[in-house]
Copies of this chain bind each other. A is one copy, B any other.
């Protein structure tokens, strides 16, 4: 299907927007009127510029407060038709009237829209009428369709906007009652679930399909069932997108439409990951000390690169001695069909990383995540390169999850990346208090928790390093803590005694509580089970968490995150 996007969705001047939109591979654009007004180029030159970039101008928008008025302002509309002719745009969006002067009279609205369509026809222009969610009298898409049908003019149809329909909780199945040829245009936007004034919600918090909580693909399916053949067009008002790089936002939008098409095809993720193969860290002596104290052992070396394999149970860490402060460089994912997974990622515009391998080494397909972390798709062969010495027994069994700090303005992009590219599903999304600001946090996981990721976003003012962490699952976190306490107590993050006083107030006095306090182990529970965990100090950007889940606990101990953050900040840990 043709793909389009409204210029309001991305940052910059109109010419910058057009260049970024074309570079992302869109077929067309909606020109948002304010972008045109502020542009020094006359409409004729914008038309040429778009054509040179391979973009059609699919819609000019919006004409406001036109219909159902005591006297319709046809003179204003005529001036807009003139601009559209110069621009080469042949469809005008008319959004439902919000003026207090508007009359609640469908017959009047239809008659005036019919008149408008007649005038438009003289210019070769069609008019798409849209119900704004906050329209004064017309705010339901089926109401807009009723008026369009009443008007009965071939140059008048409806424009459907997923935000306006789904934000009101309207059932989109009614779209199938509209003949496809009368659906002139389809605007797509998602949004997070927020309980707020719908106009503010729409103007500031829209996001691309797949980034919010609406079933935009389902709505699109109804439009296709009805026979809609026009473009899928993104129209997003978002405070972050206004500030972010236009090229990156445009690619993100294109990715959302590709993922939406995949969802429409009913195609499941072709090769979802089944576990963590490894996590690769820029290493230092301090990292080696932590791993040794945790019971990891070095079991292999890469034949050609300065990379060591450290193992314990099923947890595998690669230590890369390429220099730099300790940081998470890459994640390896066990993948049934790495080539297929990489192809899928590439189709979703994930930046493919160049393969570097010597003869006889395993070929690894990899892409870059939004924060620059490398994601490797692995089958069983990669381990052979390291000629591992054999299993290392211990309490630690596997990588439980990896937490990454996302770049400012790109949180929604990251959520869509992990959903689309890796097939992860969003779990909980919450805010956590840091002493110097709030952290936004979203957990995503593969079915059954085989792969869990936590995406964090720090408020811009917090000024903290972008911490990352690797959480390692174990059978007995108290045993791990005792071992660490005995060998290297300096590596344990100290937990305030006040935390344990509160824990003893919240839960029945448990004999284990005294030991939790002594060892600096934290505690949470949900309706499924319990969660015990400890943190190491931070090395460079990275720290480790050791976690023990019992009875099907689903969370990540978020209730304890503010304690950790305060200790990390206050003590320089």
Contacts and interface: CB of A to CB of B under 8 A. Distances in A.
Interface stretch (A39-47, A89-97, A315-323, A449-457): A39-47
Interface string A1-35: 00000000001110110000000000000000110
Contacts of A11: 435-437
Contact of A501 (B79, B437, B462, B569): B79
B242 A496 contact: no
A570 B13 contact: yes
Contacts of A83: 498, 501, 505
Which of A12, A242, A459 is packed against the most chain B CB atoms within 10 Å? A242
A197 interface: yes
A504 interface: yes
A332 interface: no
Given A566-B13, A567-B38, A438 B501 contact: no
Interface in A422-439: 433, 435-438
Contact of A42 (B75, B408, B438, B497): B497
A571 B462 CA distance: 33
A197 B200 contact: no
Contact of A435 (B38, B504, B569, B571): B38
Contacts of A501: 79, 82-83
A461 interface: yes
A527 to B, nearest CB: 13
A239 B459 contact: yes
A359 interface: no
Interface residues of A, number: 60
A79 B505 CA distance: 5
A452 B131 CA distance: 40
Contacts of A243: 436-437, 459-462
A238 to B, nearest CB: 11
A442 to B, nearest CB: 17
A355 interface: no
Interface string A557-568: 000001101110
Nearest to A494: B40
Contacts of A248: none
Nearest to A76: B505
Given A11-B436, A13-B435, A40-B567, A505 B80 contact: yes
Nearest to A32: B433
A502 interface: yes
Interface in A58-114: 75-76, 79-80, 82-83
Nearest to A497: B42
A397 to B, nearest CB: 30
A330 B124 CA distance: 57
A136 to B, nearest CB: 17
A380 interface: no
A37 interface: yes
A11 B33 CA distance: 42
A566 B438 contact: no
Given A34-B433, A562-B38, A461 B408 contact: yes
A150 B16 CA distance: 67
Contact of A196 (B197, B435, B436): B197
Contacts of A36: 498
Given A197-B195, A436-B11, A505-B79, A38 B242 contact: no
Given A13-B435, A459-B242, A570-B13, A38 B195 contact: no
A403 B39 CA distance: 24
A44 to B, nearest CB: 11
A516 to B, nearest CB: 14
Query: Sorted from nearest, which 4 A-B pairs have the closest CB atoms?
Result: A243-B461, A38-B566, A79-B505, A195-B197
Interface of A: 11-13, 15-16, 33-34, 36-43, 75-76, 79-80, 82-83, 194-197, 200, 239, 242-244, 408-409, 433, 435-438, 459-462, 494, 496-499, 501-502, 504-506, 508, 562-563, 565-567, 569-571
